[in-house]
């Protein structure tokens, strides 16, 4: 089974800090995604990547950046954390053109105080 591993389950950071959320997948998937989940809003796409060093903005990229230096790793960066970025962050990966869909990590619950 594909595994998508997120480095932290819970994270508490201070306003203004630079925050890194890490995601690693072990099945050579081309596509990787970062979503945030908020009550009543479902999952919203922040950024995604189709290949190493490639990135595309999703629906809510403001305040975030990403890095994909290796195929298996996709990092989400909050340059200056704010309280409105308190949320659950979910990473996912998928094989290009796969009919089997996406695999998600177990999420990182980030609290910015």
Partner 1 sequence: GIQVEQSPPDLILQEGANSTLRCNFSDSVNNLQWFHQNPWGQLINLFYIPSGTKQNGRLSATTVATERYSLLYISSSQTTDSGVYFCAVDADYKLSFGAGTTVTVRA
Residues of this chain that bind partner 1 (CB under 8 A): 31, 33, 35, 40-45, 48, 50, 58-59, 88, 90, 92, 96, 99-104, 106-107, 109
> How far apart are CB 103 and partner 1 at their closest, in Å?
8
Tokens of 86: 């308190």
Q: What Å distances lie between residue 8 and 11, 53, 55, 57, 58, CA to CA?
A: 7, 23, 23, 23, 23
Q: Between 41 and 52, name the residue whose CB sits nearer to partner 1.
A: 41
Tokens of 81: 């954390």
Q: Between 14 and 23, name the residue whose CB sits nearer to partner 1.
A: 23
> How far apart are CB 75 and partner 1 at their closest, in Å?
18
Q: Between 17 and 27, name the residue whose CB sits nearer to partner 1.
A: 27
Contacts of 16 (CB under 8 A, 6+ apart): 80, 81
DSSP state of 85: G
Give CA–CA dist 62/64, Å, rounded: 6
Q: Between 11 and 43, name the residue whose CB sits nearer to partner 1.
A: 43
């Amino acid at each position: 089974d594909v595994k998508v591993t997120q480095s932290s389950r819970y994270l508490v950071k201070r306003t203004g800090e630079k925050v890194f959320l890490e995601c690693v997948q072990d099945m050579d998937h081309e596509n990787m995604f970062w979503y945030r989940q908020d009550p009543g809003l479902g999952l919203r796409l922040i950024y995604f990547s189709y290949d190493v060093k490639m990135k595309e903005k999703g629906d809510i990229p403001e305040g975030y950046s990403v890095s994909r230096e290796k195929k298996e790793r996709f990092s989400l960066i909050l340059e200056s954390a704010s309280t409105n970025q308190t949320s659950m962050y979910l990473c996912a990966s998928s094989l290009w053109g796969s009919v089997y869909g996406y695999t998600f990590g177990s999420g990182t619950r980030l609290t910015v105080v």
